[in-house]
């Protein structure tokens, strides 16, 4: 993406101008974020183009803080007169808001310095250069591979290719200025297979990266989706029991999401997390190490600075089973008497809030087949349904499907079961971690075995 927008002004210059205008209007502190993006979405179903969308957007978000009073606004009208009026009105809105002693920009010493060096690998010009015809070809190839993989695959829910090319810029009244380009591309397909009784079984797969070279070949994505659909043909229910449960990498990633959502400063100061009293204590098995790392080159959650301009850094959440701490932005850090971890996320219309970037469950040294081989009876989970997780207590209960394990082998497909436990207990009961680390967007996990969970079925 070009560094200058259609009007001849860059995203960073727009952010800088908004900060200057807000200061001129009386803001004590302020920051502005600008996102200029072009996006596309192509969906092909049964070889025909169902959807082809190309869209562009340009928006600016402004945060004003005066006397602890904060206002956040956004606009897409960036003409000089409109921007001046917008800045003035945002300052006026802050003046009538309730004061908050914890509001404020980051201390200058915390702000990122060498932004360009840490932004390497976030932009791929080949994604920007993809033509609509090339995007359609990729989606068609993916779907065609799914349909050709097995005669029992009789339909699809379509294959979709999405791309995004963006310039992100942030400036604040402490003198911070940072900008970087970022690209992303994702491909997903859902295959539908028919079993002997006429029941439909669905299986999907996807790949999402910042660069075209890392994207899985479309034919491979299609074949994996087809196999996952066919593998569920003839799926059965099982009686309610307590057995070992193995999470394949994609389902293990969901456990990362649950944990990270509970490990934020927001959740801590609101008392809405089961992790509140566990900091510095043993939470999980010594086999478990989980890191949030926004500095991994070229990954989906990588960024040179956070939503407040603070330098990013790796933050261990769990280290050999020990819960190390929470992800913080400046606001939650001040409320808790701590220092930000550089974990602020920021949208155009909302203030910063803490969250994860690249979540990584460190792999072990076991082959996944060895993890399954060690189980006499158990469940291998390949998909999860529902939202049965309570962050305040850690209680976990979700619908699942996968395979029943007997005598160390996958015996038959299983559907319409429920797995339940408590996330703290589940992490403590991890007794095997695979070597097969797999990335899914901004999270990566290996195969993980939990020694015992309740599986509810018949």
**pLDDT digits 0-9 by tens, 135-170:** 999 999 999 999 999 999 999 999 999 999 999 999
Q: Is there a contact between 42 and 139 (Cβ–Cβ < 8 Å)? A: yes
Rg (alpha carbons) of the chain, rounded to whole number: 24
pLDDT-derived band at 1, boundaries 50, 70, 90: very low
pLDDT-derived band at 401, boundaries 50, 70, 90: very high
Q: Mean pLDDT, to the nearest integer, of 228-232?
A: 96
pLDDT-derived band at 114, boundaries 50, 70, 90: confident
Q: Please name the residues in contact with 372: beta carbons below 8 A apart, sequence gap of 6 or more.
A: 246, 380, 405, 408, 409, 410
**End-to-end alpha carbon distance in the chain:** 55
d(CA 361, CA 255): 10
Compute φ and ψ for 167, nearest 5 degrees.
-110, 130
d(CA 2, CA 66): 35
Q: What pLDDT, on the 0 to 100 scale, is given for residue 198?
A: 75
d(CA 456, CA 458): 7
pLDDT-derived band at 2, boundaries 50, 70, 90: very low
206, β-bridge pairs: 188
Tokens of 330: 């400046």
Residues 91-106: tens digit of each pLDDT: 999 999 999 999 999 9
Tokens of 87: 């800045």
Parallel, antiparallel, or unpaired: how do β-strands 241-247 and 377-385 relate?
parallel
Q: Taking 90 as the threshold, does the pLDDT of residue 6 lie above it?
A: no
131, β-bridge pairs: none
Among the listed residues 425, 445, 429, the one whose alpha carbon sits nearest the alpha carbon of residue 437 = 445
Q: What pLDDT, on the 0 to 100 scale, is given for residue 7?
A: 60
d(CA 64, CA 105): 10
pLDDT-derived band at 408, boundaries 50, 70, 90: very high
d(CA 385, CA 444): 19
Q: Taking 70 as the threshold, does the pLDDT of residue 5 lie above it?
A: no
The model's pTM is: 0.95
Domain ranges (residues) in the chain: 11-228, 235-458
Among the listed residues 176, 181, 168, 167, the one whose alpha carbon sits nearest the alpha carbon of residue 119 = 181
Compute φ and ψ for 274, nearest 5 degrees.
-70, -5
d(CA 271, CA 277): 10
Q: What pLDDT, on the 0 to 100 scale, is given for residue 280?
A: 96
Parallel, antiparallel, or unpaired: how do β-strands 359-361 and 290-292 relate?
antiparallel
d(CA 43, CA 189): 9
From the number of C-beta atoms within 10 Å of its C-beta (0-12, 13-18, 19+), residue 43 rates as buried
Topology of the domain comprising 11-228: PmbA/TldD fold (3.30.2290)
d(CA 379, CA 244): 7
What DSSP string describes 113-139? S-HHHHTTTS--HHHHH--HHHHHHHH
Tokens of 304: 């040179």
């Amino acid at each position: 993406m070009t560094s200058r927008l259609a009007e001849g002004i860059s995203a960073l210059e727009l952010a800088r101008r908004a900060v200057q205008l807000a200061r001129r209007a009386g803001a004590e502190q302020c920051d502005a974020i600008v996102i200029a993006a072009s996006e596309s979405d192509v969906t092909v179903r049964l070889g025909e183009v169902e959807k082809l969308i190309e869209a562009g957007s340009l928006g600016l978000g402004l945060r004003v803080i005066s006397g602890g009073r904060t206002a956040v606004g956004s606009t897409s009208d960036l003409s000089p007169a409109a921007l001046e009026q917008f800045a003035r009105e945002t300052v006026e809105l802050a003046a009538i808001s309730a004061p908050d002693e914890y509001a404020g920009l980051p201390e200058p010493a915390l702000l990122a310095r060498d932004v360009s060096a840490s932004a390497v690998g976030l932009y791929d010009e080949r994604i920007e250069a993809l033509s609509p015809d090339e995007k359609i070809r990729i989606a068609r190839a993916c779907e065609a591979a799914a349909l050709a993989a097995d005669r029992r695959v009789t339909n699809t829910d379509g294959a979709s290719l999405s791309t995004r090319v963006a310039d992100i810029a942030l400036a604040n009244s402490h003198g911070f200025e940072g900008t970087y380009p970022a690209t992303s591309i994702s491909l997903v397909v859902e295959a539908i297979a028919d079993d002997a009784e006429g029941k439909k079984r669905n299986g999907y797969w996807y790949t999402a990266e910042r660069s075209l070279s890392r994207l899985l070949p479309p034919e491979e994505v299609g074949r994996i989706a087809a196999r996952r659909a066919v593998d569920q043909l003839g799926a059965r229910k099982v009686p309610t029991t307590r057995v070992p449960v193995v999470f394949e990498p994609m389902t293990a990633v969901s456990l990362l999401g649950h944990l990270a959502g509970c490990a934020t400063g927001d959740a801590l100061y609101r008392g809405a997390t089961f992790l509140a009293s566990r900091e510095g204590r043993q939470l999980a098995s010594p086999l478990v190490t989980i890191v949030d790392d926004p500095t991994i080159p070229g990954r989906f959650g990588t960024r040179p600075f956070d939503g407040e301009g603070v330098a990013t850094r790796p933050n261990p959440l769990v280290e050999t089973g020990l819960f190390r701490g929470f992800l913080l932005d400046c606001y939650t850090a001040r409320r808790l008497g701590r220092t930000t971890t550089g974990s602020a996320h920021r949208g155009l219309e909302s203030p910063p809030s803490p969250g994860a970037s690249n979540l990584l469950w460190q792999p072990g040294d076991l082959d996944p087949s060895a993890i399954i081989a060690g189980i006499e009876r158990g469940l291998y989970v390949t998909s999860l349904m529902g939202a049965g997780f309570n962050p305040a207590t850690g209680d976990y209960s979700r619908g699942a499907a996968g395979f029943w394990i007997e005598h160390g082998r996958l015996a038959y497909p299983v559907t319409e079961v429920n797995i339940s436990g408590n996330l703290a207990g589940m992490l403590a009961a991890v007794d095997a971690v695979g070597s097969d680390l797999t990335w899914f967007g901004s999270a990566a996990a290996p195969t993980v075995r939990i020694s015992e969970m309740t599986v509810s079925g018949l």
